[in-house]
Amino acid sequence: MGRSTFEGPVLSGDNRFGPLRDVGYVVLEQDAYIDFAVATGAGTAGYAGSSTQFVTSNNIPNQAGQLYTPNSAFSAAGPTTTTPTADSATAIYRGVVLYLPIQSQLLDFIVDMPTAITATGSTPSGTNIYIGNQFTVSSAGATYATAAVGTTTYGTAGRLTVSYSAAELAAMLATTSDIQNPQLGTQPSFFSQLVFTIAIAGTGLVAPTAGQFSFTVRYTQSDPNIGNSTTYPYGNFD
C-alpha cells in the first residue's frame, strides 16, 4: 500500500470542462486524542501535555507541540514562540495545536469527551474549549468556535456541542497566515495555526488525573489561482 504527501488542493470529479463541470474539493481532516491519565512521555499515544505544554498529533503518537504568536510578516529570526499560562489554583489549561495550509476553509469541528475529567480535590466553576489560531483564555480569542464542557462541573462524557458566532463563521472561510516556516530561512512559506484550548476554571484546582478528549477539524485546502487562465489554466478554460 503506497502513501504520499504533496502540496496543493485535492480536486475530484469526472468532468473538468464546460458549464456542467462537477469537480470539487476533497474534504481533509486532522485530529488529536488526549488522555489526562497520560501526563508524561511525549511520543506516547494519548499524551496530554502538562502545565505550559500543549501537544500535537494527527494519528501519530502525541508530541510536545510548539505554539506561536500569529504574525504574517516575514522575520529573519523566524516565528515568535509562546507558551500557555502555567497551572494555578484558579485556572488550568491543556490543549492541542495543529497546523493547516493557509486559506483553508474550515468546515466544522468535532469535540468528543469519551471520559469526563477527574481531578481529586478540585472545585471547578466551568470548563470550556476555545478553538482559534492561538492559545486563548477566553471566548474573546476563540477565532473559530467554542464548546462548553460544563458550567459548574467537568461535564458529562459524550459529544460536545460546538457553537459558532457570525464572526467565527466568517473567519472559518479562510484561515490566516499565522506561522512562518522556521526551516526555510529567507524564502519562507506560511502555515495556519489551529489551537484547541481546554480552559478549566475554579478554586483549589489540581492537574486532572483522568479525562479523555478527541478533537477533529474537517477542512478543504483552497486554491486562490483556480479559474485564472494565466497562472492556472489547466482544466479551467471555461
Is 95 in contact with 198 (CB distance < 8 Å)?
Answer: yes
Residue 227 lies in a domain: no
3-class secondary structure, 23: coil
Q: Comparing 18-22, 108-112, 121-125, 209-213, which segment has the lowest mean pLDDT? A: 18-22
Stretch 115-134: mean pLDDT? 90
Q: Which domain holds residue 140?
A: 27-67+82-220
Whether residue 15 lies inside any domain: the answer is no
Residue 206 lies in a domain: yes
Q: Is residue 45 part of a domain?
A: yes
Which of the residue ranges 3-12, 132-141, 164-173 would you say has the lowest mean pLDDT?
A: 3-12
Q: Is residue 233 part of a domain?
A: no
Structural domain tally of the chain?
Answer: 1
Q: Among residues of the chain, what percentage have pLDDT more than 70?
A: 89
Q: Quick check: is 115 in a domain?
A: yes
Is residue 144 within 8 A of residue 172, CB to CB? The reply is: yes
Mean pLDDT of the chain: 86
Q: Is residue 225 part of a domain?
A: no
Tens-digit pLDDT profile for residues 88-124: 999 999 999 999 999 999 999 999 999 999 888 888 8
Which region among 19-28, 39-48, 147-156 has the lowest average model confidence (pLDDT)? Answer: 147-156
Task: Report residue 156's pLDDT band, with 50, 70 and 90 as the boundaries.
Answer: confident
Tell whether pTM > 0.85.
yes
**Do 23 and 15 form a contact (C-beta atoms < 8 A)?**
yes
Any domain includes 20: no
